[in-house]
Structure 1
Amino acid sequence: MTKEEAKQQIQKLVEKYQRVVEAGKIKSYNEAQSRNEFIEPLFEFLGWDMRNLTTDNEVTTEENVSGGRVDLAFRFGNIPVFFLEAKAMKVDLDEWKWAEQAINYSWNKNVTWAVLTDFESIKIFNAEIPPKSVSQNLFIELNCRDFINRFDQLWLLSKESFEQKLLDKEAQKWGKLTQRKQVGEKLFEDLMSWRISLTNDFKKQNSLTDEELDEGVQRILDRLIFIRTAEDRKIEPNILIGILRSGKSDQYKQLVKVFRDFDDGFNSKLFAPHYCEEWKVSDKTIGEVIKGLYETKDGYRYDFSVISADVLGGIYEQYLSFVQVRKGEDKTRSKRKSQGIYYTPKYIVEFIVKETLGEILKKTKPKELAKIKVLDPACGSGSFLNAAYDKILDTLTKQNPQTSLFAKFDILKENIFGVDLDAQAVEIAQLNLLLKVLSQKTKLPTLQHNLRVGNSLIEKENENFKSFDFQSEFKEVIEQGGFDVIIGNPPYIKEDTNRLAFDGLHDSPYYQGKMDIWTLFACRAIDLLKDGGYFSFIAPSSWIGSAGASLFRSKILSSGEIVKFIDFNDFKVFKDASIQTMIFVFQKKKPRKSYKLRYAKITNKNTSSDDVAKLLASGLNHQIENSNIFDATIKPADIGNKLISFSNDIVAEILDKVANTGNFKLSKNDIGNGIDVLQDFITDKHLAKLKDETIKKGDGVLVLKNSVANEMKFNSKEIEYLKPYFTTSQINRYLSDQKNEYKIIYADKYFREHIGEFPNLKNHIDRFKKILTSAFAPYGLHRPREERFFKGQAIFLLRKTMYPAFTFVDFPCYVTRAFLVLKPEKINLKYLTALLNSKLIYFWLKHKGKKQGEQLQIDKEPMLEIPLFKAEESEQGKIALMVDKIMTKTAEFNKTSQNTDKWHLLKAEIEKLNREIDEVIYKLYGFTAEEIGIIEDGYGRK
């Protein structure tokens, strides 16, 4: 939908609102009605996929147990860009509490923009501006009567606007983008302040070593974070603030009593008796810490129920960097960074977890989930393990939406494992994982067995080092073949910069001079990995050519296959580190003599992290500006331990030429999915559930044979909802046979909400209620899709196919999700059909598109990336005539008996027309005879 079209639709929506006002019905509109009839349609016209028909989570309902949630999160490129709080029209939006709720939520979620609306008015707030009053945060306020005459301002909330960052630019122009510190940065500052004040006070009043102080103060702060989270999740009352309000002296003793109560209630070892409970400290210091845990000095309330694990992880990595400033220490570098340890951004963690654990989960049966073992051998505060927990829980929840709390406990106990040399890091990793399952007052699992202190690189027991023997410490895992997934961000340390870090490592079979310590972690990981398992690190990219990494190169190439590789080049993944980094995804298996991997490279150091995140979220399938992506060939025997090169070959040159010549791409609005029916015909499994002798295998549920439909009695309204339904027998490459066999009950939103108007269809569907699992069961298709794609002229294509199978259709045609449908308006559809069926576009899809085994999987994403060439209209017309001919021949061929003279003649004529079309397409793209030979040579090969 264009901006002008959106404006017209919103004008109609405003007119509808005015009719409601004139009818005096406004006060009767509750929040749900306001949202369903006005607010959601408004944002749909602004380009957002409100029902996630074409996306997974573009607009989602926000939920948390604190009760202070907002209604909707809007994402662009999987990154939240604003939160929306919807209210009923009768609500007074000027009440400060509504704005405060939206602003606080956005700030705690690290999102700049918060939107408050009841449709009558829209208020856009910048949650990053230091709060003095709500009016200070208010950037734009629009009454619905001004939506049209101030449409450019309303358009700032469109999806297109966020793609172009127009709201940020507009705010910057008016000086309304002044940012306060984000929640993570602010909480880190506060934690450091509290730590210093507690350390100084305890040191003053007690005789303690620096090590005792570090451990004790961290234990206290960890407990306080846990308690505040329990409070904000409504598991416990506001206990801590109650200590302050009691007016009693010796507040620390009261706090220790709370610790004892929590030890009894949760039993997580976090609250086990500790020597810090015997220390003395002033009420003033404890009081300031407790008060600060509720509200910042500039007036914003911390809500620990919505502060995400990655934010806490980032805080704690910085928190771990704090060391007592002792005589002779370098004050310019933190402890963790001097050890080559950097906190990993969320988008990196999610990519690594998705590409490793995500792949394992695809192949894992529900009953075997507990067998999956995930390890981070240098786990730090546990960011990778937190993400791994989320991924497994997501899979479990999809299989069983009613996942119990104890099932979540089982994930922590059965699936998650971590090791770190830093005991404080391990304690914080345990805390972060416990917070994941903190939802009610109950005994929590102890994680001391799963998250351990030790040196993953030193196996033999040595009193001088914290050795860690995986064979004995994780015996049950090793006996089962090893870990399924190993992930992480290990320390980066070169021996010439920190020789002490290599003490005890020189006996390793993988040690060599000039090495970086992270490659020792990588070699160790491969040894600990199960056959078929996945392993991925983010680490310095220099290993592909460094002399000090030759042993690792030999190890990784001989032990399996690199599946994906992204070179960040000069782009800084870590703000405070100048190192060039990369990510590899590796699978342990017998490597083939030659295989392909997906390769991507960021070519501009100024590329935004948002764009890099989008690239990673797509699995390296979405081209972004300033990136180079291709499939590289690896031949392990040819490389050995020499330099690994991911250079472009002639295939890449041809693909580049296609990309550079293309002058037209499809847009998202041009592409529609086929219908997701779920239950079309009766299967054996259905019969077992239905236990109805009148129902037979193959009977139509939501899809009916024409002969059956013709015998049934339907009223005129019902007949309108019986749509012609087509399969691959009628719709295929250059084939569009209007003579079909089926009708589909097009059970869209209107149908299911007005089912009383369709009595005969209702009676039919009611027979199958027990087996209907649609999201809109029983009277709705699972995903009916946009009906416009099934009407009028369009291009239909098979999504999964060995070779492109596009065809032009000019009649009503309803299909399953086995198809995609194209309806671009600015190009001749018959010409486009020929172009998409050409050998050249097949060549592109084979190398740049998605594949499932040897099949093409032509989903929306690869379709959007094809660099199409829009020829002059006269040229398009000529090719369209050729399409008419080939479609006529194909229709006749499809009806002709195989291996007859006529069949062979038609086949030859079709092949000749295909060649003629290919020749024209090659000419349009400017390919030479030599290049065409390479394309043609690869057409029929795997």
Structure 2
Amino acid sequence: MDSNSAKKLVKSTFGGKFDEYKFKNFIKELFNDSSSIHENSKNIINFTGKGFSDYINSIFEIGDYNFNKNESIGFYVVELKRYSSIDRARAMQRNLIAKNLKNTNKTAGLVAFREENTEDWRFSFVKLEYTFTEDYETKEKLTPAKRHSYLVGPNEPNYTCQSQFKELLTIEKNISLKKIENCFSIENVTDEFFEEYEKLFNDLNKSLEDLLSTDEKIKEEFSNKNIKVEDFTKKLLGQLVFIYFLQKKGWLGVKKDEKFGSGPRNFLRKLYDKEFIEYSNFFNDILEPLFYKGFSEAVDDYHYSKFQCKVPFLNGGLFEAINGYNWKNTDINLKNEIFKNILDTFDLFNFTVMEDQPLDKEVAVDPEMLGKVLEKLSNDRKNEGKYYTPREIVHYMCQQSLISYLSNNTDISKVDLRKFIENGDVAIESIIARQEEAKIYNGKSFTKLELADSIIDNSKELEILLREVKVVDPAVGSGAFPVGMMNEIVKAISILQLINDDLIDYYKLKKEIIENSLYGVDKDFSATDITKLRFWLSLVVDEDNIDYINALPNLDNQILCGNSLIDTFEGVELFNTLKEGFQKSLNFYRESQQKFKLLEKKKNQFFNTDIVTKKKTLRVDIDNLKWEIITEYLKESGNSSKIEKIDKYRNVVDKPFLLWNLEFSEVFSGKNQGFDIVIGNPPYVKEPTNRAAFDGLRDSPYYQGKMDLWYFFGCVGLDICKNNGVVSFIAPNNWITNSGASKFRNKVDSEGHIDTFLNFGNYKVFDAGIQTMIYIMRKNDEENEFELDYSQLLYDDIDINDLVEFLYSNQKTEQFNKFKSLFNRKLFKNNYFIFLEKSISQVINKIKENNVTYLTKNEIFTGADVHQDFLNKRNAKKINMEKEVGAGIFVLSDDEKNKLNLNKKELSLIKPYYTTEELFRYYADIKNDYWLIYTKSDINKKISNYPNIKKHLDKFKEVITSDNKPYGLHRARKEEIFLGEKIIVARKCQKPAFTYVDFDAYVSQTFNIIKTDKFDLKVLTAILNSKLIQFWLKYMGKMQGNNYQLDQEPLLKIPLINKLSMDIEKEITLNIDLIIDSKENINSYEDKINNLVYESYDLNHKEIKIIEGNI
């Protein structure tokens, strides 16, 4: 179908009230098959079972389509009855389709759900799903089925739905089930919405910057209140989005005598179109008064006289003027057209206040997506090492952390707890089904209760634990983990309340959990704002009162802005109740305890207060108490001189420190101080990439060279976790072998107990090429040796369903490995962490038991550190040489070298330079393509002797970053390592490739060079390229994902047979000579070498099989 026809078809189908003829026509065109629609269809409601008739008027199967032998899809039109329980109705709708799919052996269904006397309707994709049972076998279930839906019709924007199916209709080739499913992917909306949101942000930000450049009064106000234009823009757009969510509930523009829920769903548009009031400037005259008066001042009848309608009093802080700027006396006259563009864009999308639910997802802008979009806006996101965590991984980490917490505090088996937490949605549906059956069949029910007896028997104890848990994310970002934990806790408690027939008040339950259990910290003020926004939206979802709207809570003491890694100022500790000697001064201790009690009392009052004046007073009181405690501590510890200096940070929002035991004093009181769960995705930053990120941290006991910033979070995570609490992070996977992580490893070794370690290998969890892992550990040092669950993803090209299987399944497959690994604290102290399967561990030990020797540090060298080999795009732009990107700087091609017209003295500095283009496994090609300007640290003093080289390098002077700039290499290394016979190996490779070289060859720092007199270098090359050594390096060396990291450390640990027998050495020499001479068809020679190496290490057939099956 051509593009215009497709556009008309989707608009006609989804842009209006449901029309069965149009819907059938759409199906025929989509599948390019008129026979896919049945001529006659019957109402099959009577064949679906008694339970559905309370929710469904009729269900018609109007057609079907077979993709192949194994995949088919049915087409349905369902008319719904109005029903008060949305959760029950949704569950029954899914299960109705699931039952029909099961009965007719179909894989999926496309369904139009319509309701009596309603213009809008729901277009859904329902697919039978699979779940993992308690014994981890994959079994098909009648439920859960998963439903993804678009809300469509004349009153619902459905831009994404129309655009996705328009594109599908234009595809000429046969349609597939996967393509249909992809049209219902939430990521489609995310990508489209972010693209548009980013444009709006940039336009609004520029407009505000332009205004500041011409209006001195605004500029002065922003300067006095320390307001960044970017933060103002982010908050304003966030406020507008929040209003879009609110107007979906009909809370805005309600007539004076009507109830909440009856307001127009396009309130902002009506405001802009002057249907409520005339104005000159939309922001200055309408939005600011609405935000900072209408939403922020409580009125008994909610009537906002300016607009002559009801608006709810929201409280919470979202609609407080940023940094308290004087909005009444500062005219910020942003152009009205800016807001027209914002409304035009937002009106394209459907907004839903429903939180993401695994079984029933609306393909619309939801709060979780908003968090992702707002976080992606951060300009410095990648420079700061921040990456958004996919929702599937958030679900997994939250669930496993909760399971571990409950397991640590009860005697219930982990199998039962996993079923309770992981399959909570299934449990809820089974409870609801049993309750519905009991109504129909006189108290009898037939559906199996998907819940273990141990959960039912201990329901009260579990509910107490769930209500008391304390969770923190020390790098909270957009709040994915705290919000995820809230959803898991609410779901678990609601299951327990359902089985006890307790009434569930979701709003009250969520609010209690947010107040008592969930905390977060971030350096970025706008990130904390996003997290609060997510929490507020999650409460709005469950506010169903149409007479009285609950004011939103104040979250300033739950979600804090500050540097969670620093609790000092200019090297001085600001406060620490855990420090030895803190309780020595009885007066100070008693006074502090009294202030703590008062502080916690006022924080509780602040959370719930909705009186503006009282809120301001409490905020000041809380702040004063904190600073009194800090001041007294500094005096007590003999650091009074710091009081005046630190006082300048008193009113700064994003303080450069965070005092955990002061800010969260309620968590650090009592005997077992700390959080029950520390969870998150900390920023990943190497010091050379962003040195500023390490400011204030270099005096920390956790600091060391070559480290990553996230190691600090790993250490602090253990510090703030209570004994036997849970720490769960997703982060780069190389910390277990990285030399810069030795302090962190030792802390984990001495204080942690890793329960689960998931290695994602080369699979890219994030957009950036970072290889990641998840660990879930307890803070526990009791056992010296213990087993942990280790998982390794073997493939990097997997879809989201494969990822979910990897996360939750406990079985090995072709795509991933799963096993129990032994962790020995004594063995791993001051060492790598190596996670091995038992059979592999036995072979490793057998290899080590031989009479072996090792290479030494003075036999392994790194190549020359060149820094600037060629001109890259970024540097070319700096020096206005964009047309010469790729030009040689210190590394020259033949042509570039010849054009320099070098004299004899200069030619003495030009050395043959080799790359992987000439360096192969076993042998090298002597013909080089490039030449290295080999200059040492003393070159700058005598550069006048090399005029042509000077002239060449002067062109690039501004971008040369060498310590010996502008003419010297960063690290030239000793020249003898490049001369004569040697072995060269790339430091990072997919498979180890050791190269025997018997001529002068200069290489970069991406290679290591082996020069030794202990071995015949040809024979050593053959051994190092053997399967046995590859196996050793894979399991005892350093791996970055599925790549080998052949740095000096792993090379030093390779066990080499001390003295080979003369016969074996002779045979190896013969075969490597044949390899070097023939260069092709070398498999038979390699096989002979491998067998000779196995023989020299005394391995039997079974051990050889293990090696060859695991490399």
- TM-score band w.r.t. shorter chain: 0.5 to 0.7
Q: CA deviation at 1:358?
A: 3.1
| Structure 2 CA distance for aligned equivalents of residues 48 and 593 of structure 1 | 54
2:556 counterpart (438, 445, 448): 448
1:315 lines up with 2:315 in the alignment: no
1:426 lines up with 2:528 in the alignment: yes
| Pairing 1:508-907 to 2, within 5 Å after superposition | 508-575=700-767, 577-618=768-809, 621-650=810-839
Q: Mark the CA change 1:132 to 1:38 in structure 2 (over 3 Å): closer, same or farther.
A: closer
Q: Mark the CA change 1:347 to 1:262 in structure 2 (over 3 Å): closer, same or farther.
A: same
| Structure 2 CA distance for aligned equivalents of residues 632 and 243 of structure 1 | 63
For structure 1, the residue ranges without an aligned partner over 5 or more in a row are 1-13, 51-60, 76-80, 105-110, 118-126, 141-152, 157-165, 323-334, 655-927, 932-942
Q: CA deviation at 1:498?
A: 2.1
Superimposed CA distance per residue, residues 81-101 of structure 1 (whole angstroms, 9 cap, x where no aligned partner):
98854558x999xx99547x5
| Structure 2 CA distance for aligned equivalents of residues 191 and 508 of structure 1 | 40
Q: CA deviation at 1:336?
A: 1.2
Partner of 1:472: 662
Q: Mark the CA change 1:139 to 1:179 in structure 2 (over 3 Å): closer, same or farther.
A: farther
Partner of 1:282: 335
Q: Mark the CA change 1:523 to 1:22 in structure 2 (over 3 Å): closer, same or farther.
A: closer
Q: Mark the CA change 1:177 to 1:535 in structure 2 (over 3 Å): closer, same or farther.
A: closer
Superimposed CA distance per residue, residues 843-892 of structure 1 (whole angstroms, 9 cap, x where no aligned partner):
xxxxxxxxxxxxxxxxxxxxxxxxxxxxxxxxxxxxxxxxxxxxxxxxxx
> Which of the two has higher C-alpha Rg?
2
Q: CA deviation at 1:64?
A: 6.9
Partner of 2:463: 366
Q: CA deviation at 1:136?
A: 7.2
Superimposed CA distance per residue, residues 55-83 of structure 1 (whole angstroms, 9 cap, x where no aligned partner):
xxxxxx99979x999943999xxxxx988
1:235 lines up with 2:251 in the alignment: yes
| Structure 2 CA distance for aligned equivalents of residues 431 and 470 of structure 1 | 23
| Structure 2 CA distance for aligned equivalents of residues 353 and 571 of structure 1 | 21
Q: Mark the CA change 1:20 to 1:628 in structure 2 (over 3 Å): closer, same or farther.
A: closer
Partner of 2:696: 504
Superimposed CA distance per residue, residues 145-166 of structure 1 (whole angstroms, 9 cap, x where no aligned partner):
xxxxxxxx9xx9xxxxxxxxx5
Tell me which amino acid in the other structure corresponds to 1:72.
R
- Residues 680 and 730 in structure 2, CA contact (< 8 A), matched pair in contact too: yes
Q: CA deviation at 1:590?
A: 2.7
Tell me which amino acid in the other structure corresponds to 1:418.
G
**Quick check: 562-571 or 280-289, which moved more?**
280-289
1:182 lines up with 2:213 in the alignment: no
- Residues 239 and 318 in structure 2, CA contact (< 8 A), matched pair in contact too: yes
Tell me which amino acid in the other structure corresponds to 2:288.
V
1:272 counterpart (296, 320, 326): 320
| Structure 1 CA distance for aligned equivalents of residues 203 and 815 of structure 2 | 47
Q: CA deviation at 1:547?
A: 1.1
| Structure 1 CA distance for aligned equivalents of residues 383 and 326 of structure 2 | 29
| Structure 2 CA distance for aligned equivalents of residues 287 and 199 of structure 1 | 15
Question: TM-score, with normalisation over the residues of structure 1?
Answer: 0.53
Superimposed CA distance per residue, residues 366-406 of structure 1 (whole angstroms, 9 cap, x where no aligned partner):
23433211010011111111101111111221122433222
| Structure 2 CA distance for aligned equivalents of residues 623 and 540 of structure 1 | 23
Question: TM-score, with normalisation over the residues of structure 2?
Answer: 0.45
Tell me which amino acid in the other structure corresponds to 2:336.
D
1:458 counterpart (557, 560, 566): 566
Tell me which amino acid in the other structure corresponds to 1:403.
I
| Structure 2 CA distance for aligned equivalents of residues 386 and 350 of structure 1 | 10
Partner of 2:1040: none
Partner of 2:58: 34
Q: CA deviation at 1:255?
A: 1.8
- Residues 482 and 529 in structure 1, CA contact (< 8 A), matched pair in contact too: yes
SS of match in other structure, 1:425 = helix
| Structure 2 CA distance for aligned equivalents of residues 132 and 560 of structure 1 | 50
Q: Mark the CA change 1:16 to 1:382 in structure 2 (over 3 Å): closer, same or farther.
A: same
1:263 counterpart (296, 303, 310): 296
| Structure 2 CA distance for aligned equivalents of residues 33 and 551 of structure 1 | 66
Q: CA deviation at 1:199?
A: 2.0
Q: Mark the CA change 1:19 to 1:582 in structure 2 (over 3 Å): closer, same or farther.
A: closer
Superimposed CA distance per residue, residues 218-253 of structure 1 (whole angstroms, 9 cap, x where no aligned partner):
221121111111111333333211212326332222
- Residues 112 and 121 in structure 2, CA contact (< 8 A), matched pair in contact too: no
SS of match in other structure, 1:510 = coil
Partner of 1:403: 504
| Structure 1 CA distance for aligned equivalents of residues 744 and 178 of structure 2 | 45
Q: CA deviation at 1:434?
A: 1.1
State the percentage of identical aligned residues. 27
| Structure 1 CA distance for aligned equivalents of residues 782 and 46 of structure 2 | 73
Tell me which amino acid in the other structure corresponds to 1:447.
L
| Structure 2 CA distance for aligned equivalents of residues 496 and 133 of structure 1 | 43
- Residues 482 and 530 in structure 1, CA contact (< 8 A), matched pair in contact too: yes
| Structure 1 CA distance for aligned equivalents of residues 736 and 722 of structure 2 | 24
Q: Mark the CA change 1:445 to 1:83 in structure 2 (over 3 Å): closer, same or farther.
A: farther
| Pairing 1:410-421 to 2, within 5 Å after superposition | 410-421=512-523
Partner of 2:1038: none
Tell me which amino acid in the other structure corresponds to 1:503.
D
- Residues 108 and 125 in structure 2, CA contact (< 8 A), matched pair in contact too: no
1:194 lines up with 2:225 in the alignment: no
For structure 2, the residue ranges without an aligned partner over 5 or more in a row are 1-37, 75-82, 99-106, 127-145, 153-157, 253-262, 298-312, 355-361, 411-460, 544-548, 571-645, 650-654, 844-1099, 1104-1111
SS of match in other structure, 1:539 = strand
Superimposed CA distance per residue, residues 303-341 of structure 1 (whole angstroms, 9 cap, x where no aligned partner):
45553443222112112x13xxxxxxxxxxxx0110111
Tell me which amino acid in the other structure corresponds to 1:213.
V
1:216 lines up with 2:232 in the alignment: yes
Q: Mark the CA change 1:513 to 1:181 in structure 2 (over 3 Å): closer, same or farther.
A: closer
Q: CA deviation at 1:37?
A: 10
Q: CA deviation at 1:523?
A: 0.6
Tell me which amino acid in the other structure corresponds to 1:483.
F
Partner of 2:1061: none
Q: CA deviation at 1:930?
A: 9.6
- Residues 82 and 113 in structure 1, CA contact (< 8 A), matched pair in contact too: no
- Residues 71 and 84 in structure 1, CA contact (< 8 A), matched pair in contact too: no
**Quick check: 233-242 or 560-569, which moved more?**
233-242
**Quick check: 367-376 or 347-356, which moved more?**
367-376
| Pairing 1:142-157 to 2, within 5 Å after superposition | none
| Structure 2 CA distance for aligned equivalents of residues 443 and 498 of structure 1 | 42
SS of match in other structure, 1:246 = coil
1:203 lines up with 2:209 in the alignment: yes
Q: Mark the CA change 1:261 to 1:540 in structure 2 (over 3 Å): closer, same or farther.
A: same
Tell me which amino acid in the other structure corresponds to 2:658.
F
Q: CA deviation at 1:616?
A: 1.0
| Structure 1 CA distance for aligned equivalents of residues 490 and 246 of structure 2 | 21
Q: Mark the CA change 1:229 to 1:929 in structure 2 (over 3 Å): closer, same or farther.
A: same
- Residues 190 and 373 in structure 2, CA contact (< 8 A), matched pair in contact too: yes
Give me the CA root mean square deviation: 4.7
Superimposed CA distance per residue, residues 342-363 of structure 1 (whole angstroms, 9 cap, x where no aligned partner):
1111111111111112332464
Q: CA deviation at 1:416?
A: 0.4
1:254 counterpart (273, 283, 286): 286
SS of match in other structure, 1:523 = helix
Tell me which amino acid in the other structure corresponds to 1:438.
V
SS of match in other structure, 2:762 = coil
Q: CA deviation at 1:634?
A: 0.9
